[in-house]
Amino acid sequence: MKIVICGAGVIGVTTAYYLATMGHEIVVVDRRSRAGMETSFANAGQISWGYAGPWAAPGMPRKALFWWLFERHTPLVIRPRIDPALWTWLVRMLRNCTSSAYIRNKERMVRLAAFSAECLRELRAETGIRYDDAAKGTLQLFRDRKALDEAATESRILSDLGIPHVFLNRTGCVEIEPGLSRAPATIAGGLHFPGDETGDCHLFTEALAQRAMRRGVEFRFDTTIFGLVANRGRIVSVRTSRGPIAADAFVVALGSHSRELLRPLGINLPIYPVKGYSVTLPLANPDFAPRSTVMDEAHKVAITRLGNRIRVGGIAELAGYNLDRRAGPRETLVHAVSTLFSAGIDMTRARFWTGLRAMTPNGPPLLGRTAYANLFLNTGHGTLGWTMACGSGRLLAEIISGHEPSIDLEGLTLGEPDGRKTRSVSPASRPVVASTSVWRSYSNRRMAKYANAMRRTSGRFRPTDTSEATLKKEEPQ
What's the min distance (Å) between Cβ of 294 and ligand FAD? 12
What's the min distance (Å) between Cβ of 298 and ligand FAD? 17
Separation between Cα atoms, residue 412 and residue 389, nearest integer Å: 13
44 backbone dihedrals φ, ψ, rounded to 5°: -75, -5
Separation between Cα atoms, residue 210 and residue 217, nearest integer Å: 9
Residue of 385, 411, 415, 419 that binds ligand FAD (CB under 6 A): 385
Q: Which of residues 276-315 bind ligand FAD (CB under 6 A)?
A: 276-278, 302, 313
Residue of 43, 105, 140, 155 that binds ligand FAD (CB under 6 A): 43
Q: Which is nearer to ligand FAD, 43 or 374 (CB)?
A: 43
Q: Which of residues 319-378 bind ligand FAD (CB under 6 A)?
A: 355, 357-358
The region of 131-139, 248-256, 414-422, 436-444 touching ligand FAD under the rule CB under 6 A is 248-256
The region of 80-88, 272-280, 367-375, 447-455 touching ligand FAD under the rule CB under 6 A is 272-280
138 touches ligand FAD (CB under 6 A): no
Tell me the β-bridge partners of 273. 358
Q: Which of residues 72-101 bind ligand FAD (CB under 6 A)?
A: none
Residue 354 DSSP SS3? strand
Closest CA to 475 of 184, 165, 152: 152
Label residue 437 exposed, middle or buried (CB < 10 Å: 0-12, 13-18, 19+): exposed
132 touches ligand FAD (CB under 6 A): no
173, 139 contact by CB (below 8 A): yes
Separation between Cα atoms, residue 21 and residue 123, nearest integer Å: 11
Residue of 209, 225, 397, 434 that binds ligand FAD (CB under 6 A): 225
What's the min distance (Å) between Cβ of 177 and ligand FAD? 17
Closest CA to 292 of 372, 163, 177, 193: 177
The region of 44-52, 76-84, 132-140, 143-151 touching ligand FAD under the rule CB under 6 A is 44-52
11, 255 contact by CB (below 8 A): yes
Could you tell me how many residues of this chain bind ligand FAD (CB under 6 A)? 42
Q: Would you say the C-alpha torsion 148, 153, 159, 161 has a positive or negative sign? A: negative
Q: Which is nearer to ligand FAD, 116 or 169 (CB)?
A: 116
Residue of 21, 32, 178, 185 that binds ligand FAD (CB under 6 A): 32
DSSP 175-223: HH-GGGGG-SS---EEEEETT-EE--HHHHHHHHHHHHHHTT-EEE-S-
Separation between Cα atoms, residue 41 and residue 13, nearest integer Å: 13
386 touches ligand FAD (CB under 6 A): yes
Closest CA to 387 of 129, 33, 60, 138: 138
CB atoms within 10 A of CB 238: 24
Q: Which is nearer to ligand FAD, 11 or 86 (CB)?
A: 11
What's the min distance (Å) between Cβ of 169 and ligand FAD? 26
Separation between Cα atoms, residue 5 and residue 374, nearest integer Å: 12
Residue of 3, 4, 5, 8 that binds ligand FAD (CB under 6 A): 8
What's the min distance (Å) between Cβ of 262 and ligand FAD? 12
Q: Which of residues 144-183 bind ligand FAD (CB under 6 A)?
A: none
CB atoms within 10 A of CB 406: 14
CA 76 from chain centre, in angstroms, equals 18
Q: Which is nearer to ligand FAD, 36 or 189 (CB)?
A: 36
In degrees, to the nearest 5, what angle opens at C-alpha 293 toward C-alphas 288 and 299?
Answer: 90
The region of 82-90, 148-156, 280-288, 384-392 touching ligand FAD under the rule CB under 6 A is 384-392
Q: Which is nearer to ligand FAD, 36 or 476 (CB)?
A: 36
Q: Please give the sequence-ordered ranges of beta strands (E in DSSP) within 1-43, or none if there are none.
A: 2-6, 25-29
The region of 165-173, 251-259, 401-409, 469-477 touching ligand FAD under the rule CB under 6 A is 251-259
Residue of 4, 5, 12, 106 that binds ligand FAD (CB under 6 A): 12
Binding site for ligand FAD (CB under 6 A): 7-12, 29-32, 36-40, 43-46, 201, 224-225, 253-255, 257, 276-278, 302, 313, 355, 357-358, 379, 381-387
